[in-house]
């Protein structure tokens, strides 16, 4: 079996990561990856089925971790007693983004691939999926505010989508540009203060 040849799997992954980072999924070449890894394209097909399977082997575990953790935090926040949610919104959101950002920095190349090199794969909608989850959580929170007798003024769905998309793009820029960690921490704190204040203004919770 192909996997019995020691080191081939690891070399394919190593050079595939470099190729995908340089060219993106669509333009990456399995022939180039195979040549650099000292193997054949057939060897890649045997191990990963196809190019998307190879891409998935690299970014899939990181996609799963980020999405799972992000959904878990949303569920934990929603499970808080209604009266505790307003005072904890900024803190929970900030801690979540810090945790995800730290994870991305620990797996910087794989997460860069996930964020900006996945066009043509099922991971191309990564940002849109995050936005959809955040949007649904926002709607639940707005209902909590209404139930507490402090309803939010109407927020345009289009504006909401634009703001949430922009918010995630802002955070992910730190990963894409590999901003030094100490600097990224400062930016993250400032961005969190900016978006929390903005949301509170829109929701009439100042």
Q: What is the pLDDT of residues 88-145, one digit of tens each?
A: 988 899 899 999 999 999 999 999 999 999 999 999 999 999 999 999 999 999 999 9
Element (H, E) at 106: helix 85-106
Give CA separation, 78 vs 81, 102, 114, 140, in Å. 8, 23, 28, 8
Task: Tell whether 54 is covered by a domain.
Answer: no
Q: How far apart are CA 145 and CA 40, in angstroms?
A: 59
Co-location of 112 and 159 in the same domain: yes
Co-location of 117 and 41 in the same domain: no
- What's the pLDDT score for residue 4? 53
* Maximum alpha-carbon separation in the chain: 66
- What's the pLDDT score for residue 5? 75
End-to-end, the C-alpha distance of the chain in Å comes to: 64
Angle 80-200-101 (CA atoms, 0-180°, nearest 5)? 70
Structural domain containing residue 69: 59-202
Residue 121 backbone dihedrals phi, psi, to 5 degrees: -120, 175
User: For the chain, what percent of residues have pLDDT higher than 70?
Assistant: 98
CATH number at residue 43: 1.10.10.60
Total count of domains within the chain: 2
Counting as low any pLDDT under 70, the low residues of the chain are: 1-4
CB 196 within 8 A of CB 205: no
Task: Tell whether 27 is covered by a domain.
Answer: yes
Co-location of 91 and 186 in the same domain: yes
- What's the pLDDT score for residue 170? 94
């Amino acid at each position: 079996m192909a996997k019995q040849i020691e080191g081939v799997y690891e070399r394919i992954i190593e050079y595939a990561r470099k190729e995908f980072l340089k060219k993106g999924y669509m333009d990456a070449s399995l022939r180039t990856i195979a040549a650099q890894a000292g193997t054949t394209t057939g060897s890649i097909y045997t191990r990963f089925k196809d190019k998307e399977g190879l891409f998935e082997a690299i970014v899939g575990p990181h996609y799963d971790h980020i999405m799972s953790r992000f959904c878990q935090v949303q569920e934990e926040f929603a499970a808080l007693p209604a009266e505790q949610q307003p005072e904890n919104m900024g803190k929970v959101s900030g801690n979540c983004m810090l945790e995800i950002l730290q994870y991305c920095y620990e797996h910087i190349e794989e997460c860069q691939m996930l964020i900006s090199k996945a066009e043509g794969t099922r991971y191309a909608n990564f940002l849109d999926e995050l936005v959809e989850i955040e949007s649904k959580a926002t709607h639940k929170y707005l209902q909590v505010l209404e139930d507490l007798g402090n309803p939010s003024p109407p927020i345009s769905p289009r504006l909401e989508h634009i703001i949430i998309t922009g918010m995630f793009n802002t955070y992910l820029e730190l990963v894409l540009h590999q901003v030094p960690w100490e600097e990224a921490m400062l930016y993250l704190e400032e961005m969190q203060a900016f978006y929390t204040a903005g949301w509170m203004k829109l929701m009439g919770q100042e």
